[in-house]
Protein backbone atom coordinates (compact mmCIF):
# COMPACT_ATOMS: atom_id res chain seq x y z
CA UNK A 1 0.00 0.00 0.00
CA UNK A 2 1.03 3.59 -0.54
CA UNK A 3 2.74 5.38 2.35
CA UNK A 4 2.37 9.05 1.63
CA UNK A 5 3.07 11.43 4.47
CA UNK A 6 1.38 14.75 3.72
CA UNK A 7 1.35 15.99 7.33
CA UNK A 8 4.71 17.72 7.67
CA UNK A 9 3.17 20.52 9.71
CA UNK A 10 2.76 18.03 12.56
CA UNK A 11 6.19 16.39 12.24
CA UNK A 12 8.83 15.74 9.63
CA UNK A 13 10.72 12.49 9.15
CA UNK A 14 14.05 12.87 10.94
CA UNK A 15 16.82 13.00 8.35
CA UNK A 16 19.12 9.94 8.70
CA UNK A 17 22.13 12.30 8.83
CA UNK A 18 20.52 13.93 11.87
CA UNK A 19 20.05 10.59 13.61
CA UNK A 20 23.67 9.67 12.87
CA UNK A 21 24.94 12.95 14.33
CA UNK A 22 22.86 12.49 17.48
CA UNK A 23 23.74 8.89 18.29
CA UNK A 24 27.19 9.46 19.90
CA UNK A 25 25.55 11.88 22.35
CA UNK A 26 23.35 9.07 23.66
CA UNK A 27 26.38 6.82 24.01
CA UNK A 28 30.02 7.61 24.47
CA UNK A 29 29.56 11.40 24.67
CA UNK A 30 27.38 11.66 27.74
CA UNK A 31 28.88 14.66 29.48
CA UNK A 32 27.00 17.61 30.91
CA UNK A 33 28.06 20.92 29.33
CA UNK A 34 27.78 22.61 32.74
CA UNK A 35 30.47 20.30 34.16
CA UNK A 36 33.12 21.11 31.62
CA UNK A 37 36.39 20.90 33.51
CA UNK A 38 36.82 17.28 32.48
CA UNK A 39 36.93 15.82 28.99
CA UNK A 40 33.37 14.49 28.90
CA UNK A 41 31.91 17.84 29.90
CA UNK A 42 34.20 19.64 27.45
CA UNK A 43 33.01 17.42 24.62
CA UNK A 44 29.39 18.23 25.44
CA UNK A 45 30.07 21.94 25.81
CA UNK A 46 31.90 22.09 22.47
CA UNK A 47 28.96 20.32 20.80
CA UNK A 48 26.54 22.74 22.42
CA UNK A 49 28.55 25.79 21.35
CA UNK A 50 28.96 24.53 17.79
CA UNK A 51 25.23 23.78 17.58
CA UNK A 52 24.37 27.23 18.85
CA UNK A 53 26.52 28.73 16.11
CA UNK A 54 24.89 26.62 13.41
CA UNK A 55 21.31 27.38 14.48
CA UNK A 56 22.23 31.06 14.70
CA UNK A 57 23.56 31.01 11.14
CA UNK A 58 20.32 29.53 9.86
CA UNK A 59 18.43 32.67 10.89
CA UNK A 60 21.32 35.17 10.47
CA UNK A 61 21.69 35.69 14.22
CA UNK A 62 24.65 35.69 16.63
CA UNK A 63 25.36 32.49 18.61
CA UNK A 64 24.77 34.31 21.90
CA UNK A 65 21.23 35.13 20.80
CA UNK A 66 20.06 31.48 20.66
CA UNK A 67 18.31 29.98 23.70
CA UNK A 68 17.64 26.27 23.33
CA UNK A 69 14.28 25.10 24.66
CA UNK A 70 12.20 21.93 24.72
CA UNK A 71 10.41 23.05 21.57
CA UNK A 72 8.29 25.76 20.04
CA UNK A 73 5.66 25.75 22.78
CA UNK A 74 8.25 26.56 25.43
CA UNK A 75 9.92 29.11 23.17
CA UNK A 76 6.59 30.87 22.54
CA UNK A 77 5.81 30.84 26.26
CA UNK A 78 9.24 32.25 27.06
CA UNK A 79 8.85 34.96 24.42
CA UNK A 80 5.42 36.12 25.56
CA UNK A 81 5.60 35.64 29.32
CA UNK A 82 9.31 36.42 29.52
CA UNK A 83 8.88 39.71 27.67
CA UNK A 84 5.89 40.60 29.84
CA UNK A 85 7.80 39.86 33.02
CA UNK A 86 10.77 41.82 31.72
CA UNK A 87 8.70 44.89 31.00
CA UNK A 88 8.93 47.64 33.58
CA UNK A 89 5.68 49.51 33.01
CA UNK A 90 4.24 48.52 29.64
CA UNK A 91 1.18 46.29 29.98
CA UNK A 92 -0.24 45.78 26.48
CA UNK A 93 0.40 42.95 23.99
CA UNK A 94 -0.75 42.67 20.35
CA UNK A 95 -1.16 39.26 18.68
CA UNK A 96 -3.03 37.89 15.67
CA UNK A 97 -6.02 35.62 16.03
CA UNK A 98 -4.34 32.83 14.02
CA UNK A 99 -1.39 32.34 16.39
CA UNK A 100 -0.61 28.91 17.78
CA UNK A 101 -2.22 27.96 21.11
CA UNK A 102 1.15 28.34 22.81
CA UNK A 103 0.94 32.06 22.02
CA UNK A 104 -2.80 32.60 22.52
CA UNK A 105 -3.00 30.55 25.72
CA UNK A 106 0.17 32.14 27.13
CA UNK A 107 -1.86 35.34 27.21
CA UNK A 108 -4.45 33.89 29.61
CA UNK A 109 -2.41 34.15 32.83
CA UNK A 110 -1.09 37.53 31.68
CA UNK A 111 -4.64 38.87 31.29
CA UNK A 112 -5.46 37.54 34.75
CA UNK A 113 -2.42 39.43 36.02
CA UNK A 114 -3.70 42.68 34.55
CA UNK A 115 -2.05 42.79 31.13
CA UNK A 116 -4.23 43.97 28.25
CA UNK A 117 -4.23 42.30 24.86
CA UNK A 118 -5.37 43.18 21.36
CA UNK A 119 -6.11 40.21 19.11
CA UNK A 120 -5.91 41.27 15.47
CA UNK A 121 -8.32 39.90 12.90
CA UNK A 122 -7.02 38.43 9.66
CA UNK A 123 -8.48 38.69 6.17
CA UNK A 124 -10.04 35.77 4.28
CA UNK A 125 -6.59 34.59 3.21
CA UNK A 126 -5.50 34.56 6.84
CA UNK A 127 -3.25 37.61 6.55
CA UNK A 128 -2.67 40.28 9.14
CA UNK A 129 -2.85 43.82 7.76
CA UNK A 130 0.32 45.62 8.95
CA UNK A 131 -1.77 48.77 9.16
CA UNK A 132 -3.91 47.07 11.81
CA UNK A 133 -0.74 46.45 13.80
CA UNK A 134 0.14 50.14 13.49
CA UNK A 135 -3.31 51.12 14.77
CA UNK A 136 -3.25 48.61 17.62
CA UNK A 137 0.06 49.80 19.08
CA UNK A 138 -0.42 52.06 22.11
CA UNK A 139 2.08 53.95 24.22
CA UNK A 140 1.99 51.09 26.71
CA UNK A 141 2.41 48.29 24.15
CA UNK A 142 5.38 46.08 24.99
CA UNK A 143 5.15 43.30 22.40
CA UNK A 144 3.68 42.39 19.02
CA UNK A 145 3.56 38.66 18.20
CA UNK A 146 2.68 37.50 14.69
CA UNK A 147 3.71 34.16 13.23
CA UNK A 148 5.86 33.93 10.10
CA UNK A 149 3.70 31.26 8.45
CA UNK A 150 0.54 29.49 9.51
CA UNK A 151 0.78 25.71 9.66
CA UNK A 152 -2.88 25.06 9.05
CA UNK A 153 -3.56 27.28 6.04
CA UNK A 154 0.00 27.89 4.83
CA UNK A 155 -0.27 31.68 4.66
CA UNK A 156 2.95 33.65 5.01
CA UNK A 157 2.48 36.84 7.02
CA UNK A 158 3.97 40.21 6.03
CA UNK A 159 6.35 39.94 8.98
CA UNK A 160 8.95 42.37 7.63
CA UNK A 161 6.35 45.14 7.44
CA UNK A 162 5.08 44.30 10.90
CA UNK A 163 8.62 44.17 12.29
CA UNK A 164 9.41 47.58 10.83
CA UNK A 165 6.30 49.10 12.38
CA UNK A 166 7.11 47.59 15.77
CA UNK A 167 10.69 48.88 15.55
CA UNK A 168 9.53 52.40 14.67
CA UNK A 169 7.27 52.43 17.71
CA UNK A 170 9.84 50.95 20.09
CA UNK A 171 7.84 47.76 20.58
CA UNK A 172 9.33 44.26 20.72
CA UNK A 173 8.40 41.96 17.83
CA UNK A 174 8.10 38.21 18.25
CA UNK A 175 7.70 36.02 15.17
CA UNK A 176 6.82 32.34 15.55
CA UNK A 177 8.79 30.73 12.72
CA UNK A 178 7.89 27.14 13.64
CA UNK A 179 6.18 26.40 10.33
CA UNK A 180 8.54 28.41 8.13
CA UNK A 181 12.11 27.85 9.34
CA UNK A 182 13.92 25.28 7.23
CA UNK A 183 11.36 25.67 4.45
CA UNK A 184 11.62 29.31 3.40
CA UNK A 185 14.37 31.80 4.27
CA UNK A 186 14.20 33.19 7.80
CA UNK A 187 16.39 36.20 8.55
CA UNK A 188 15.88 37.87 11.92
CA UNK A 189 17.18 41.21 10.61
CA UNK A 190 15.06 41.18 7.45
CA UNK A 191 12.03 40.29 9.58
CA UNK A 192 12.97 42.81 12.22
CA UNK A 193 12.37 40.26 14.95
CA UNK A 194 13.54 40.73 18.52
CA UNK A 195 12.29 37.27 19.42
CA UNK A 196 11.82 34.33 17.05
CA UNK A 197 10.65 30.77 17.69
CA UNK A 198 12.14 27.64 16.08
CA UNK A 199 11.16 23.99 16.33
CA UNK A 200 13.54 21.23 15.23
CA UNK A 201 10.96 18.59 14.37
CA UNK A 202 9.42 20.90 11.80
CA UNK A 203 12.57 20.80 9.68
CA UNK A 204 13.65 17.14 9.76
CA UNK A 205 15.15 17.31 13.25
CA UNK A 206 14.11 15.53 16.44
CA UNK A 207 11.12 16.27 18.66
CA UNK A 208 11.59 17.84 22.07
CA UNK A 209 14.01 20.55 21.02
CA UNK A 210 13.57 24.08 19.76
CA UNK A 211 15.01 27.50 20.28
CA UNK A 212 14.09 31.07 20.97
CA UNK A 213 16.12 33.76 19.25
CA UNK A 214 16.56 36.66 21.68
CA UNK A 215 18.03 39.79 20.10
CA UNK A 216 20.95 41.13 22.13
CA UNK A 217 19.72 43.71 24.60
CA UNK A 218 16.13 42.42 24.75
CA UNK A 219 14.69 42.46 28.26
CA UNK A 220 13.41 38.98 28.96
CA UNK A 221 12.80 37.14 32.24
CA UNK A 222 13.42 33.43 32.58
CA UNK A 223 10.38 31.25 33.33
CA UNK A 224 12.22 28.36 34.96
CA UNK A 225 14.18 28.82 38.17
CA UNK A 226 17.39 26.87 38.49
CA UNK A 227 20.92 27.05 37.22
CA UNK A 228 22.60 29.46 34.85
CA UNK A 229 22.23 27.47 31.61
CA UNK A 230 21.32 29.16 28.32
CA UNK A 231 22.54 32.56 29.35
CA UNK A 232 20.21 32.52 32.34
CA UNK A 233 17.13 32.43 30.14
CA UNK A 234 16.44 28.74 30.54
CA UNK A 235 17.62 26.75 33.54
CA UNK A 236 18.12 23.01 33.29
CA UNK A 237 20.69 20.73 31.72
CA UNK A 238 20.58 21.10 27.96
CA UNK A 239 19.21 18.30 25.77
CA UNK A 240 22.58 17.83 24.10
CA UNK A 241 21.64 15.00 21.69
CA UNK A 242 18.51 16.92 20.65
CA UNK A 243 20.42 20.17 20.21
CA UNK A 244 23.09 18.43 18.11
CA UNK A 245 20.24 16.98 16.03
CA UNK A 246 18.62 20.38 15.63
CA UNK A 247 21.91 21.91 14.50
CA UNK A 248 22.50 19.11 12.00
CA UNK A 249 18.99 19.62 10.65
CA UNK A 250 19.68 23.35 10.40
CA UNK A 251 22.93 22.68 8.53
CA UNK A 252 21.10 20.43 6.06
CA UNK A 253 18.29 22.95 5.63
CA UNK A 254 20.76 25.78 4.91
CA UNK A 255 22.36 23.70 2.16
CA UNK A 256 19.26 22.08 0.69
CA UNK A 257 16.02 23.88 1.54
CA UNK A 258 16.08 26.13 -1.53
CA UNK A 259 16.08 22.95 -3.62
CA UNK A 260 13.21 21.45 -1.58
CA UNK A 261 11.13 24.57 -2.10
CA UNK A 262 11.87 24.54 -5.81
CA UNK A 263 10.65 20.97 -6.01
CA UNK A 264 7.65 21.33 -3.67
CA UNK A 265 6.14 24.56 -4.97
CA UNK A 266 5.11 23.10 -8.38
CA UNK A 267 3.90 19.92 -6.67
CA UNK A 268 1.69 22.07 -4.47
CA UNK A 269 0.36 23.91 -7.51
CA UNK A 270 -0.32 20.63 -9.30
CA UNK A 271 -2.28 19.34 -6.28
CA UNK A 272 -4.15 22.64 -5.97
CA UNK A 273 -5.13 22.68 -9.67
CA UNK A 274 -6.00 18.99 -9.68
CA UNK A 275 -8.30 19.31 -6.67
CA UNK A 276 -9.93 22.44 -8.09
CA UNK A 277 -10.97 20.59 -11.24
CA UNK A 278 -11.89 17.22 -9.73
CA UNK A 279 -13.92 18.04 -6.61
CA UNK A 280 -16.96 20.32 -6.67
CA UNK A 281 -17.79 22.52 -3.67
CA UNK A 282 -14.16 22.57 -2.56
CA UNK A 283 -12.79 25.83 -1.15
CA UNK A 284 -9.08 26.52 -0.72
CA UNK A 285 -7.87 28.22 2.45
CA UNK A 286 -4.93 30.52 2.93
CA UNK A 287 -3.24 32.90 0.54
CA UNK A 288 -3.07 31.54 -3.03
CA UNK A 289 0.51 32.76 -3.66
CA UNK A 290 2.12 33.82 -0.40
CA UNK A 291 2.13 30.37 1.13
CA UNK A 292 4.48 27.62 2.23
CA UNK A 293 5.81 25.54 -0.69
CA UNK A 294 4.00 22.21 -1.06
CA UNK A 295 1.22 23.26 1.31
CA UNK A 296 -2.37 22.86 0.11
CA UNK A 297 -5.31 23.41 2.45
CA UNK A 298 -9.03 23.50 1.79
CA UNK A 299 -12.47 22.59 3.05
CA UNK A 300 -15.19 20.70 1.29
CA UNK A 301 -18.93 20.87 1.74
CA UNK A 302 -20.94 17.80 2.77
CA UNK A 303 -18.04 15.63 3.91
CA UNK A 304 -16.69 15.68 7.45
CA UNK A 305 -12.99 16.18 8.18
CA UNK A 306 -12.23 13.21 10.39
CA UNK A 307 -13.97 10.83 8.00
CA UNK A 308 -11.91 12.28 5.16
CA UNK A 309 -8.70 11.66 7.13
CA UNK A 310 -9.70 8.10 8.07
CA UNK A 311 -10.48 7.19 4.47
CA UNK A 312 -7.32 8.90 3.19
CA UNK A 313 -5.33 6.91 5.75
CA UNK A 314 -6.92 3.71 4.43
CA UNK A 315 -5.41 4.69 1.07
CA UNK A 316 -2.03 5.29 2.68
CA UNK A 317 -2.30 9.08 2.70
CA UNK A 318 -1.66 10.86 6.01
CA UNK A 319 -3.03 14.38 6.34
CA UNK A 320 -4.38 16.81 8.95
CA UNK A 321 -7.75 18.43 9.57
CA UNK A 322 -8.91 21.43 11.54
CA UNK A 323 -12.43 20.09 11.80
CA UNK A 324 -13.86 19.80 15.29
CA UNK A 325 -14.42 16.05 15.23
CA UNK A 326 -10.79 15.21 14.69
CA UNK A 327 -9.46 17.76 17.13
CA UNK A 328 -8.90 15.88 20.35
CA UNK A 329 -9.78 12.22 20.31
CA UNK A 330 -8.04 11.66 23.63
CA UNK A 331 -10.17 14.25 25.38
CA UNK A 332 -12.70 13.41 28.06
CA UNK A 333 -15.94 14.68 26.61
CA UNK A 334 -17.55 16.36 23.68
CA UNK A 335 -16.52 19.78 24.97
CA UNK A 336 -12.94 18.85 24.13
CA UNK A 337 -13.82 18.84 20.43
CA UNK A 338 -13.47 22.30 18.96
CA UNK A 339 -13.10 23.47 15.41
CA UNK A 340 -9.88 25.25 14.60
CA UNK A 341 -9.76 28.91 15.57
CA UNK A 342 -7.88 29.54 12.32
CA UNK A 343 -10.78 28.28 10.20
CA UNK A 344 -13.21 30.44 12.16
CA UNK A 345 -10.91 33.43 11.76
CA UNK A 346 -10.87 33.18 7.96
CA UNK A 347 -14.64 32.85 7.83
CA UNK A 348 -15.15 29.15 7.10
CA UNK A 349 -18.86 28.83 7.87
CA UNK A 350 -19.66 26.68 10.87
CA UNK A 351 -23.37 26.41 10.10
CA UNK A 352 -22.94 24.07 7.15
CA UNK A 353 -21.32 20.70 6.97
CA UNK A 354 -17.67 21.10 6.24
CA UNK A 355 -14.54 19.07 6.44
CA UNK A 356 -11.18 20.75 6.35
CA UNK A 357 -7.97 19.13 5.15
CA UNK A 358 -4.35 20.31 5.26
CA UNK A 359 -1.86 18.60 2.97
CA UNK A 360 1.71 19.59 3.83
CA UNK A 361 4.41 17.98 1.71
CA UNK A 362 8.04 17.43 2.58
CA UNK A 363 11.34 16.82 0.91
CA UNK A 364 10.80 13.06 0.56
CA UNK A 365 7.50 13.44 -1.34
CA UNK A 366 7.31 13.01 -5.10
CA UNK A 367 5.07 13.99 -7.96
CA UNK A 368 3.73 10.43 -7.91
CA UNK A 369 2.47 11.05 -4.35
CA UNK A 370 0.49 14.04 -5.60
CA UNK A 371 -0.99 11.97 -8.42
CA UNK A 372 -1.97 9.23 -5.95
CA UNK A 373 -3.81 11.74 -3.75
CA UNK A 374 -5.54 13.17 -6.81
CA UNK A 375 -6.55 9.66 -7.85
CA UNK A 376 -8.14 8.72 -4.51
CA UNK A 377 -9.57 11.87 -2.96
CA UNK A 378 -12.47 12.59 -5.36
CA UNK A 379 -13.91 9.11 -4.72
CA UNK A 380 -13.48 9.53 -0.96
CA UNK A 381 -15.36 12.81 -0.98
CA UNK A 382 -18.12 11.33 -3.17
CA UNK A 383 -18.43 8.32 -0.93
CA UNK A 384 -18.96 10.46 2.18
CA UNK A 385 -21.34 12.77 0.36
CA UNK A 386 -23.44 9.81 -0.80
CA UNK A 387 -23.85 8.98 2.88
CA UNK A 388 -24.72 12.51 3.98
CA UNK A 389 -28.33 13.68 4.38
CA UNK A 390 -27.21 17.24 3.67
CA UNK A 391 -25.80 16.25 0.27
CA UNK A 392 -29.09 14.54 -0.60
CA UNK A 393 -30.97 17.72 0.33
CA UNK A 394 -28.52 19.86 -1.61
CA UNK A 395 -28.99 17.76 -4.74
CA UNK A 396 -32.79 17.82 -4.46
CA UNK A 397 -32.60 21.58 -4.05
CA UNK A 398 -30.43 21.85 -7.16
CA UNK A 399 -32.88 19.71 -9.14
CA UNK A 400 -35.89 21.75 -8.07
CA UNK A 401 -34.08 24.89 -9.17
CA UNK A 402 -33.62 23.15 -12.53
CA UNK B 1 -5.17 -2.77 9.32
CA UNK B 2 -3.82 0.41 10.84
CA UNK B 3 -4.81 0.93 14.47
CA UNK B 4 -6.02 4.50 14.71
CA UNK B 5 -8.24 5.87 17.46
CA UNK B 6 -11.11 3.42 16.95
CA UNK B 7 -11.86 -0.22 17.68
CA UNK B 8 -11.76 -2.72 14.82
CA UNK B 9 -15.55 -3.00 14.98
CA UNK B 10 -15.97 0.77 14.57
CA UNK B 11 -13.60 0.80 11.61
CA UNK B 12 -15.33 -2.20 10.07
CA UNK B 13 -18.72 -0.44 10.22
CA UNK B 14 -17.17 2.86 9.07
CA UNK B 15 -15.56 1.21 6.06
CA UNK B 16 -18.57 -1.00 5.25
CA UNK B 17 -21.60 0.79 6.64
CA UNK B 18 -24.81 -1.26 6.62
CA UNK B 19 -28.13 0.11 5.42
CA UNK B 20 -27.02 3.40 3.93
CA UNK B 21 -29.75 5.08 1.93
CA UNK B 22 -33.34 6.13 2.26
CA UNK B 23 -36.67 4.32 2.32
CA UNK B 24 -39.28 5.62 -0.10
CA UNK B 25 -42.54 6.12 1.80
CA UNK B 26 -40.90 5.37 5.13
CA UNK B 27 -43.28 4.87 8.06
CA UNK B 28 -41.10 7.05 10.24
CA UNK B 29 -38.21 9.44 9.71
CA UNK B 30 -36.05 10.86 12.48
CA UNK B 31 -33.43 13.53 12.06
CA UNK B 32 -31.09 14.44 14.90
CA UNK B 33 -27.81 16.24 15.40
CA UNK B 34 -26.68 19.44 13.85
CA UNK B 35 -24.17 19.97 11.08
CA UNK B 36 -22.69 22.86 13.06
CA UNK B 37 -21.81 20.35 15.78
CA UNK B 38 -20.10 18.18 13.20
CA UNK B 39 -22.67 15.41 12.88
CA UNK B 40 -26.20 14.83 11.70
CA UNK B 41 -28.17 11.61 11.22
CA UNK B 42 -31.37 10.89 9.34
CA UNK B 43 -32.98 7.52 10.05
CA UNK B 44 -35.76 5.97 7.98
CA UNK B 45 -37.83 3.07 9.36
CA UNK B 46 -40.39 0.75 7.87
CA UNK B 47 -42.79 -0.83 10.37
CA UNK B 48 -44.71 -4.01 9.65
CA UNK B 49 -46.89 -5.90 12.17
CA UNK B 50 -45.53 -3.80 15.02
CA UNK B 51 -41.92 -4.56 14.18
CA UNK B 52 -39.18 -2.56 12.52
CA UNK B 53 -38.96 -4.40 9.20
CA UNK B 54 -36.39 -2.14 7.57
CA UNK B 55 -34.10 0.72 8.54
CA UNK B 56 -31.83 2.93 6.49
CA UNK B 57 -29.75 5.96 7.31
CA UNK B 58 -27.80 8.87 5.98
CA UNK B 59 -25.24 10.49 8.25
CA UNK B 60 -22.89 13.43 7.99
CA UNK B 61 -20.15 13.01 10.51
CA UNK B 62 -17.01 11.43 11.81
CA UNK B 63 -16.06 7.76 11.88
CA UNK B 64 -17.88 7.17 15.17
CA UNK B 65 -21.07 8.84 13.90
CA UNK B 66 -21.16 6.73 10.74
CA UNK B 67 -20.33 3.50 12.61
CA UNK B 68 -22.97 4.24 15.31
CA UNK B 69 -25.59 4.85 12.61
CA UNK B 70 -24.71 1.63 10.83
CA UNK B 71 -24.72 -0.43 14.02
CA UNK B 72 -28.02 1.06 15.14
CA UNK B 73 -29.81 0.06 11.94
CA UNK B 74 -28.56 -3.51 12.44
CA UNK B 75 -29.75 -3.52 16.03
CA UNK B 76 -33.29 -2.25 15.45
CA UNK B 77 -34.20 -4.41 12.47
CA UNK B 78 -36.69 -7.08 13.54
CA UNK B 79 -37.27 -5.49 16.94
CA UNK B 80 -40.73 -4.47 18.18
CA UNK B 81 -41.33 -0.76 18.50
CA UNK B 82 -40.97 -0.95 22.26
CA UNK B 83 -37.77 -2.96 22.02
CA UNK B 84 -36.29 -0.53 19.50
CA UNK B 85 -37.23 2.44 21.67
CA UNK B 86 -35.50 0.83 24.63
CA UNK B 87 -32.11 0.71 22.89
CA UNK B 88 -29.60 2.90 24.73
CA UNK B 89 -26.51 4.67 23.52
CA UNK B 90 -24.43 2.38 25.76
CA UNK B 91 -25.76 -0.66 23.93
CA UNK B 92 -24.77 0.89 20.60
CA UNK B 93 -21.34 1.84 21.88
CA UNK B 94 -20.82 -1.60 23.50
CA UNK B 95 -21.82 -3.33 20.27
CA UNK B 96 -19.09 -1.30 18.55
CA UNK B 97 -16.49 -2.45 21.04
CA UNK B 98 -16.54 0.94 22.77
CA UNK B 99 -16.02 4.51 21.59
CA UNK B 100 -13.50 7.15 22.69
CA UNK B 101 -14.96 9.26 25.51
CA UNK B 102 -15.23 12.33 23.30
CA UNK B 103 -17.27 10.32 20.79
CA UNK B 104 -19.94 8.98 23.16
CA UNK B 105 -22.27 11.67 21.83
CA UNK B 106 -22.26 9.87 18.47
CA UNK B 107 -23.93 6.85 20.08
CA UNK B 108 -26.34 9.22 21.86
CA UNK B 109 -27.22 10.61 18.45
CA UNK B 110 -28.07 7.08 17.29
CA UNK B 111 -30.30 6.49 20.32
CA UNK B 112 -32.05 9.81 19.74
CA UNK B 113 -32.50 9.05 16.04
CA UNK B 114 -34.43 5.85 16.65
CA UNK B 115 -36.66 7.58 19.20
CA UNK B 116 -37.28 10.46 16.78
CA UNK B 117 -38.09 8.07 13.91
CA UNK B 118 -40.49 6.06 16.08
CA UNK B 119 -42.11 9.26 17.41
CA UNK B 120 -42.68 10.22 13.80
CA UNK B 121 -44.16 6.79 13.13
CA UNK B 122 -46.53 7.09 16.13
CA UNK B 123 -47.65 10.52 14.98
CA UNK B 124 -48.40 9.26 11.48
CA UNK B 125 -50.03 6.06 12.74
CA UNK B 126 -52.04 6.95 15.85
CA UNK B 127 -53.07 3.81 17.73
Q: Over its length of 402 residues, how does chain A's per-residue pLDDT go in tens digits?
A: 899 999 999 999 999 999 999 999 999 999 999 999 999 999 999 999 999 999 999 999 999 999 999 999 999 999 999 999 999 999 999 999 999 999 999 999 999 999 999 999 999 999 999 999 999 999 999 999 999 999 999 999 999 999 999 999 999 999 999 999 999 999 999 999 999 999 999 999 999 999 999 999 999 999 999 999 999 999 999 999 999 999 999 999 999 999 999 999 999 999 999 999 999 999 999 999 999 999 999 999 999 999 999 999 999 999 998 765 555 556 665 555 666 788 889 988 765 557 889 999 999 999 999 999 999 999 999 999 999 999 999 999 999 987
B35 and chain A in contact, CB less than 8 A:
yes
| Chain B: closest CA distance from residue A389 (Å) | 5
Residue B49 to residue A137: CA distance in whole angstroms: 73
Q: Which phi and psi angles does A75 have, rounded to 5°?
A: -65, -45
Q: Which residue of A has its CA nearest to B67?
A: A307
Q: Are B37 and A389 within 8 A, CB to CB? A: no
* pLDDT, one tens digit for every residue, chain B (127 residues): 445 789 999 999 999 999 999 999 999 999 998 776 678 999 999 999 999 999 999 999 999 999 999 999 999 999 999 999 999 999 999 999 999 988 999 999 999 999 999 999 999 988 7
* Widest distance between CA atoms in chain A: 84
* Contact between residue A151 and residue A360 where contact means Cβ atoms under 8 Å apart: yes
Residue B82 to residue B84: CA distance in whole angstroms: 5
Cβ-based neighbours of A395, under 8 Å, separated by 6 or more? none
Q: Are B35 and A329 within 8 A, CB to CB? A: no
Q: Show which residues on chain A lie within 8 Å of chain B, measured between beta carbons.
A: 302-307, 310, 313-314, 323-326, 328-334, 336-337, 339, 350-353, 384, 386-392
Q: Are A307 and B66 within 8 A, CB to CB? A: yes
pLDDT of A82-110, one tens digit each?
A: 999 999 999 999 999 999 999 999 999 99
Spell out which residues of chain A touch residue B35, defining contact as CB-CB under 8 Å.
351-353, 390
State whether the Cα torsion B22-B24-B27-B31 is positive or negative: positive
Q: Are A386 and B20 within 8 A, CB to CB? A: yes
Tell me what pLDDT residue A338 has. Answer: 60
**Mean of the per-residue pLDDT values for chain A?**
94
Q: Are B20 and A302 within 8 A, CB to CB? A: no
Would you tell me which residues 91-120 of chain B have a C-beta closer than 8 angstroms to some C-beta of chain A?
A: 100-105
Cβ-based neighbours of A153, under 8 Å, separated by 6 or more? A98, A126, A285, A286, A291, A297, A342, A346, A358
State whether the Cα torsion A65-A68-A69-A73 is positive or negative: positive
Q: Are A352 and B35 within 8 A, CB to CB? A: yes
Tell me what pLDDT residue A401 has. Answer: 87
Spell out which residues of chain A touch residue B61, defining contact as CB-CB under 8 Å.
304, 307, 325
Tell me what pLDDT residue A349 has. Answer: 78
B56 and chain A in contact, CB less than 8 A:
no
**Which residue among B59, B62, B101 places its CB closest to the CB of A333?**
B101
Amino acid sequence: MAHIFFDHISATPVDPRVVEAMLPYFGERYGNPASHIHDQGQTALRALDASRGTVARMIHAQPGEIVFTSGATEANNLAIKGAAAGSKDKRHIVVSEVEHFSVLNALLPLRAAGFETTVLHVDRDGRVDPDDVRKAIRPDTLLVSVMHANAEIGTIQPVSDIGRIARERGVLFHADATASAGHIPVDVDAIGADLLTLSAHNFYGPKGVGALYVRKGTRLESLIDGGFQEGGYRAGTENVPGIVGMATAAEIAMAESAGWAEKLAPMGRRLWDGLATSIPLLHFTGHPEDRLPGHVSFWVEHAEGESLLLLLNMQGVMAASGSACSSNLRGHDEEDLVASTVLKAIGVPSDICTGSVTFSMGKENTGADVEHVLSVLPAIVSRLREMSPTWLDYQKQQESQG
Amino acid sequence: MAGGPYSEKVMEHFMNPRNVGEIENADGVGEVGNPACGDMMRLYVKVEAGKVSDAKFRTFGCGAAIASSSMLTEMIKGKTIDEARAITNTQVSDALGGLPEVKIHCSVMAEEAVKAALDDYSKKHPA
